[in-house]
Amino acid sequence: GAGADNDLYINQAIVFIEDAIQYRSINHRVDSKSLWLYRWYYSRTCQWILSLTITVILALAFIEEPSSLTVTSDVRYRLPAWNPPCGLTESIELLCFLVFAVDVSVKSYLIGWKEFWKNKWLMAYILTLIVSLADWIVSLSFFCKESVRIRRILRPFFLLQNSSMMKKTLKSINSTLPEMASVVLLLAVHLSLFTMFAMLLFARTKDNQQDKEWVVYFRNLPDSLTSLLVLLTTANNPDVMIPAYSKNRAYSIFFILFTVLGNLFLMNLLTAIIYNQFRGYLLKSVQSSLFRRRLGIRAAFEVLSSLKETPASAQQSCVSVGALLQVLQKAEMDSRCKQAIMRSLKMCSCDQLSAAQFQKLFEELDKDAIKQHPPSPEYQSHFMQKMQFAFGHPCFGYLGNVVALANIISICVVLVMDADKQPSERDDFFLGAINCFFILYYLLEMLLKILAMGLKRYLSYPSNIFDGLLTVILLILEIATFAVYGFPHPGWRPEFMGLLSLWDMVRLVNMLIVFRFLRIIPNMKFMALVVTTLLDLVKNLRAFAGILVVVFYAFAITGIMLFKGAVVPLGNTSVGPMNSWNIGPTTSMTLLKKKVPSWCSACSQAGIVYCLLYVLSVHLICRWAKIYFVAWWLISSVIWVNLFVALLLENFIHKWDRRCQRESLSGIEYQRTVELMFRDVLEEPTEEELMEKLHQHPHLQLCR
Amino acid sequence: GAGADNDLYINQAIVFIEDAIQYRSINHRVDSKSLWLYRWYYSRTCQWILSLTITVILALAFIEEPSSLTVTSDVRYRLPAWNPPCGLTESIELLCFLVFAVDVSVKSYLIGWKEFWKNKWLMAYILTLIVSLADWIVSLSFFCKESVRIRRILRPFFLLQNSSMMKKTLKSINSTLPEMASVVLLLAVHLSLFTMFAMLLFARTKDNQQDKEWVVYFRNLPDSLTSLLVLLTTANNPDVMIPAYSKNRAYSIFFILFTVLGNLFLMNLLTAIIYNQFRGYLLKSVQSSLFRRRLGIRAAFEVLSSLKETPASAQQSCVSVGALLQVLQKAEMDSRCKQAIMRSLKMCSCDQLSAAQFQKLFEELDKDAIKQHPPSPEYQSHFMQKMQFAFGHPCFGYLGNVVALANIISICVVLVMDADKQPSERDDFFLGAINCFFILYYLLEMLLKILAMGLKRYLSYPSNIFDGLLTVILLILEIATFAVYGFPHPGWRPEFMGLLSLWDMVRLVNMLIVFRFLRIIPNMKFMALVVTTLLDLVKNLRAFAGILVVVFYAFAITGIMLFKGAVVPLGNTSVGPMNSWNIGPTTSMTLLKKKVPSWCSACSQAGIVYCLLYVLSVHLICRWAKIYFVAWWLISSVIWVNLFVALLLENFIHKWDRRCQRESLSGIEYQRTVELMFRDVLEEPTEEELMEKLHQHPHLQLCR
């Protein structure tokens, strides 16, 4: 009937508007039941469960069998890690797989059969699930004793497929690959030609004293290749040059040519290529988000205009205000936006809305939320007003900064003086006394500020929250110290008591004080600009970080599988394939303690991009390790760092260009989003584009 | 009289047009004598003498007293360097100073008294000369025994002031300094806060086994600061982290935070700032060159139009063709351009030229020179024509590339096989035989190509010149080998004879063959693009390279002065302030042999940007050395590398954008200049701008 139809239209409009708010695609089924399923699937609870499942399945690696999650990473000292009984991690995994199965079926159903066949990500998702399940069954049938677990390498895929941003970024990276491959090929040609040159130049001579270069770095083809590859990472520079240079200065020309061509030109060419590819990347992605939003709103308009209440006689389609109000009440959106739209709907006296008016109403979504701080309290007493003026003044804040600086300097002085003292000689009285004074001042400052601004206004500034929180923590620590160890006095050197020693307490307090010093940042203009740029960057980098996690995870798991058991404690050094470690060119003593697997997990779990450079420099003889580390260097260090630089350049240059513009508005604080940064550059989609896209919708049949 | 006036005008026009061609400023004196002096000063001979003088005075450092120009850099083995007698270098210096004195007086005279006072560079030039002369007198009066020679540090200034490009670049760098200083300040804050954190975190404990981190890296404030500074250069990564990490994995968070914030964010911020500043740099400089050219031509037009022959009745000023022809014949310019202008002057039937026509004539200067290869010879015989087709075909070139590749591979195979053989066991027969065969093929290829293309056409391709030259050298070497050592036969192991041993000859031949393999570059599209970009870059980088030379020179001289005698041979290690070298964290053995002064000169004279990173990592204890190396790292590595990256990005992105455009024209070879690259983006100066500038000319009084 017409009523049911109307309900359907209203529901469709609600979902489309929610799609627009979340920048989602509207290409999903639009019948009543599917709409209910869709809203359920995208409800906060469901998405939260999905994220939790992904986190859990990724985190499993930390407790699974060859895990290295122990306090120390040193194989000589560490206790055997906890080994979960067979079936525990497996049953958790099965639960996760079930959630993923539900996820993939709901997703496939919602986009419809036809679209499903076009969607390679969904098919890969199903394939991954099937392979993982098969591997899981194999695992259980071997009672968890099997050596290779393919499903562990496949796990990061679940993270990848869940984020549309990541998929888009990956596509973008993918389109740069041919050019990157050309540069990498060029690097390879460069490397091989120079290797041949080096082998001819530093050949074995009859005089054994003279060919140090040959012995250490250019003994044979793999050695020479490795030496020069490591030189490309600059890790063995200038070690590799020293023997030849001390023989004849002219040899340095070879190394200089190699470094300049390889490092300065070819490596930076990679940066240029990647930057060139990503120059429009942010703008493009924001532009497509805008298109999705406009499309969602237009789709909502179209379905609402087919409601039966609309007078059929109207020349152009329009929407009644009542229907829109109904939709707005049911749609989930930011309450501030909802109120603003309601308000402007009431102010507009007309009964029917055209498409343009409809779009205009929802422009509220694109606007900055102007952050208003609550007013200061108004005091009656003249004295209080004066107090308020004095302590609400910026100068009081500057005074606080100066005091914090003084505190830092005093800590620094004490540290320098105590540097060479034995722990037993150390006298904690001085530091305890001055810290006590400074913390009292911080408390006073906080209280006076609250008095001047009122609690609400005080808490509306993030810098005050940071400040206040640290002050409270410091106060609690200080009170705890005094409660346990008594008040400081000269020669104050109490015994160890309770959870932490006095010395640890004092160190913790000092670290917090150093951390609290960061409150000066918003007071320095250039620093504030840099910090806001970096924060923006972090927002935009989420997709990249996700891909990085995927790559790190895959590398870590591969590394653990490849090098399992390759490292043994220092006692018996000659066991396993890693006994060639001690051939390394610079030293052997310190390097023996470095272990590939713990390094893999350290590098990978942690995220140091450069840590490989040094590991490579010790000339892993083991072939696999070499290939593994070169791949790791290329992907994590070269390509990812260049991607990062490209994004940073993009972001920073945008921000920099707009700096002057912003300074004029400095009175008002905006809650800025990425979308807003580009607002003046974005193009509004035309009505024709929107309608064409709407008519291509696989499930929605529009009347006109 | 009128004739003398006319001569003056003609001479002025000649000089203005030469100015326009060379992109020089026209703000110089314009009376007859000054014009003669001006043309003499800018004649090739004079400029060549000036360049030679600058080269000579800079090169003096290689033979002056604490010079290190010996074959080996190892203090243990090297012979005492040649010490020039007192007065030899000094008299050369005096000659140079005289040339500079003439240069500065001519320059000052030519720009005129008024302009001289505004020109800070000229004043600094005079000041430098005076200080240098004073120092020279002091030096002589001490009979060359004085320890400090200020004039040696001042020398690079002479290079700097002679290039207008360098001065412009320096100005550009200068305007970036405030922002760079902010980032460096930020880095300093970052470093100092993290140092305090580190000192609190890795404090001395009662258990001596546990505080390795403290002992090695964070013993006191300077140590901690150095450790973290070196971590910022990534030279001691992950060494510095290992002890703490093996105690507790959580400590790695500190190092990761430091590296990510410092290296990824702050260091790349520097790149972003410098790139942002230099984005328009090339375009701007090309634009100002264009303005100078148009201004010169316009000035020539204006002076020619004041010639008495011109009919005074003409409404607008114009120039007679005869006068222009007279000017053209006397002006020094590219003969191709001259002919083209003459030709179009004859084709234009009119007698008088307007300003627009005049400018249009000289647009020939801006045009690409289309390079036309001479035609191939036309053979009568049918057989010869077939030969010509076969060997003129690109496939023959590809075959040559394949043969060159085969040669490379064969050398590579022999190298791998011979890698572990003693020199006495080595049999040179195989390599000798195949190289003989390959060189014969190369000779044949060259002769056939000359046959097919004719000698002139063959030589008109640079790749052929490269190819042919190397082939001829290879042939000569091979003939010399056979003449000295006879033809190769199995067991061919002749004794050492003549200048080079057979083994050295073979190595030289092999190196040349590897080098010849570079001829494949133009055959690979992407490689060709990259290589042309790099060549363009080298052209644009001349100014930067000059500034780099200035900085390197100053650092090298300072280093030599600071660390003179600080290094002693290995026998008595504990002499001098450098005995603290062996405290270094990783090794002491190899590092003891590294010497600051030879390093300084190696780094500086040679140009390796990264060589410091490792030197820093050995924890120089000597304060001065530390400060010196940090300054060196900041300037040469951080700032200069970032400048280079910025320019590379700029150049590459321009080139990349225009690639599609160029591909359509690929049939024609252009001799491209920087100016032409930007031709579509450049703005032509308006007539008003030109005339306004002309009226501001300090010496030229225009009638109108």
Read off the pLDDT of residues A32-86 as tens digits, 9 standing for 90 and up.
899 999 999 999 999 999 999 999 998 888 787 766 566 666 656 666 767 788 8
The tens digit of pLDDT for each residue in B555-575 reads: 877 777 776 655 444 333 332
Query: Within an 8 Å CB–CB cutoff, is residue B210 touching chain A?
Result: no
pLDDT at residue A591 in the model: 31
Beta carbons of A645 and B269 less than 8 angstroms apart: no
Interface of B with A in 637-676 (CB under 8 A): 641, 644-645, 648-649, 652-653, 656
Closest-CA residue in chain A for B517? Answer: A193
Confidence tier at B207 by pLDDT (50, 70, 90): low
Determine contact, residues A306/A703, Cβ cutoff 8 Å.
yes
A507 chain-B contacts, CB cut-off 8 A: 200-201, 203
B415/A200 Cβ within 8 A: yes
CB atoms within 10 A of CB A105: 11
Nearest to A355 by CA among A292, A294, A311: A294
**CATH entry 1.10.287.70 includes domain A172-285:** yes
Task: Look at the block and give the residue holding tokens 């509220």.
Answer: A364
> CA–CA separation, B552 vs B547, rounded Å?
9
Q: Where are the domains of chain A?
A: 43-162, 172-285, 297-374+681-696, 382-523, 535-569+589-669
B393-424 exposure pattern, b = at least 16 Cβ within 10 A, e = fewer: eeeebeebeeebeebbebbbebbeebbeeeee
Measuring CA to CA, how many Å separate B133 from each of A255, B55, B153, B223?
Answer: 39, 18, 13, 43
Say how many residues make up chain B: 704
Over range B293-311, report the average pLDDT: 81
**What is the predicted pLDDT for the residue at A585?**
26
Provide the chain A residues 343-362 that lie in CB contact (below 8 A) with chain B: none
Chain B: give the shortest CA distance to residue A217, in Å: 12
| Range in A34-38, A149-153, A417-421, B188-192 the model is least confident about | A417-421
Cβ-nearest to A656 among B71, B241, B276 = B276
Write out chain B residues lying below 8 Å of A271, CB-based. 645, 648-649
Mutate to test the interface with B, among A187, A202, A204 (most CBs of B within 10 A): A204
Q: Quick one: closest CA in A to B654, which residue?
A: A276
**Contact call for A607 and B534, based on CB within 8 A:** no
The pair phi, psi for residue A370, each rounded to 5°, is -80, 120
Determine the pLDDT at residue B189.
87
For helices B394-418 and B429-453, angle between their N-to-C axes, nearest 10 degrees: 170
* Complex-level ipTM: 0.80
pLDDT of residue B108: 92
Using a CB–CB cutoff of 8 Å, tell me whether B79 touches chain A.
no
Min Cα distance B204 → chain A (Å) is 7
Architecture of domain B382-523: Up-down Bundle (1.20)
Min CA distance, A260 vs chain B (Å)?
A: 8
Which residues, numbered 157 to 196 in chain B, qualify as contacts with chain A under a Cβ-Cβ cut-off of 8 Å? 179, 182-183, 186, 193, 196
Q: Quick check: A276 and B656 CB within 8 A?
A: yes
| One fold for B172-285 and B382-523 | no
> Is B415 an 8 Å CB contact of chain A?
yes
Asked if A511's CB is within 8 angstroms of B652's CB, the reply is no
Which of B72, B201, B264 minimises the CB distance to A247?
B72
pLDDT score at B565: 57
B454: nearest Cα among B464, B469, B463, B441: B464
Model pLDDT, residue A214: 73
Q: Which residue has the higher pLDDT, B482 or A467?
A: A467
- Quick check: B420 contacting A, CB < 8 Å? yes
Half-sphere exposure of B1 (CA within 13 A, CB side): 1
- Residue B225 at interface with chain A, using a CB cutoff of 8 Å: no
Question: In Å, what is the CA distance from B138 to each residue of B64, B283, B474?
Answer: 16, 47, 54
What are the chain B neighbours of A587 within 8 Å (beta carbons)? 586-587
Lowest mean pLDDT of A79-88, A162-171, A308-317, name the range.
Answer: A308-317
Pick from A247, A252, A517: which is nearest to B606 by CB? A252
* Position A588 confidence tier, pLDDT thresholds 50, 70, 90: very low
The reported pLDDT for the residue numbered B67 is 63
Band of residue B471 on the pLDDT scale cut at 50, 70, 90:
very high
Mean pLDDT lowest among A323-337, B94-108, B604-618: B604-618
A507/B586 CB distance under 8 A: no
Chain B nearest C-alpha distance from A41 (Å): 37
Yes or no, beta carbons of B238 and A271 under 8 Å apart: no
Q: CA angle, corner B418, sides to B412 and B423, nearest 5?
A: 135
Query: Is 50 exceeded by the pLDDT of residue B488?
Result: yes
Q: Find the CB nearest B415 among A199, A241, A527.
A: A199
- Dihedral over alpha carbons A504, A505, A510, A516 (to 10 degrees): 130
Residue A176 DSSP SS3: helix
Q: Are B254 and B267 in contact (CB under 8 A)?
A: no
Contacts of B69 in chain A (CB under 8 A): 249
Interhelix angle A2-22/A32-41, nearest 10 degrees: 30
Look-up: residue for tokens 């004085």?
B146
* Count of CB pairs separated by less than 8 Å, A with B: 256
B131 to chain A, any CB pair closer than 8 A? The answer is: no
Task: Write out residues 530-549 of A within 8 Å (CB-CB) of B.
Answer: 530, 533-534, 537
Which pLDDT value is given to residue B646?
85
CB pair distance less than 8 Å for A517 and B70: no
Residues of A in contact with B534 (CB under 8 A): 265
Chain A residues close to B263, C-beta within 8 Å: 610
Helix, strand, coil percentages (3-state) for chain A, rounded to 5, are: 70, 0, 30
Residues of chain A in contact with residue B72, where contact means CB-CB under 8 angstroms, are: 246-249
Cβ-based contacts of A648 with chain B (< 8 Å): 265, 268-269, 271-272
- Closest-CA residue of A relative to B232 is A610
Closest residue to A652, CB basis, from B73, B269, B607: B269
Q: Between chains, do A72 and B609 touch, taking CB under 8 Å as contact?
A: no
For residue A250, list chain B residues with Cβ-Cβ distance below 8 A.
71
**Cβ contacts (< 8 Å) between B653 and chain A: which residues?**
272, 275-276, 279
Residue-level pLDDT at A668: 44
Provide the CB-side half-sphere exposure for A427 (13 A, CA). 9
Residue B78 has what pLDDT?
64
**How is residue B472 written in tokens?**
């001829």
Q: Is B524 a residue whose pLDDT tops 80? A: no
Flag if B602 and A273 touch (Cβ within 8 Å): no
Confirm or reject contact between B627 and chain A (CB < 8 A): no
Pick the closest to residue B520 from B415, B432, B371, B408 (CA basis).
B408
Pick the residue from chain B with its C-alpha nearest to A220.
B419
For residue B391, count other CB atoms closer than 10 A to its CB. Answer: 20
Contact state of A200 with B507 under an 8 Å Cβ cutoff: yes
How far apart are the CA of B268 and the nearest CA of chain A, in angstroms? Answer: 6
Per-residue confidence (pLDDT) for residue A78, from 0 to 100: 64
Predicted pLDDT of residue B127: 95
DSSP conformation class of B638 = I
Q: Rounded to whole angstroms, how far apart are CA atoms B327 and B13?
A: 7
CB contact under 8 A, A609 and B219: no
Separation of CA B397 from chain center: 33
Please tell me if residue A81 touches chain B, with a CB cutoff of 8 Å: no
In total, chain A counts a number of residues equal to 704
**Closest by CA position to B54, among listed B139, B145, B142, B128:** B128
Helices then strands, each counted (H, E), chain A? 34, 4
Residues of B in contact with A255 (CB under 8 A): 608
- Whether B251 has its CB under 8 Å from any CB of chain A: the answer is no
Taking CA atoms, B597 is separated from A545, B567, B593, in Å, by 44, 8, 12
H-helix or E-strand containing B370? strand B369-370
Confidence of residue A374 (pLDDT cuts 50, 70, 90): confident
Kindly report the nearest CA distance between residue B160 and chain A, in angstroms: 23
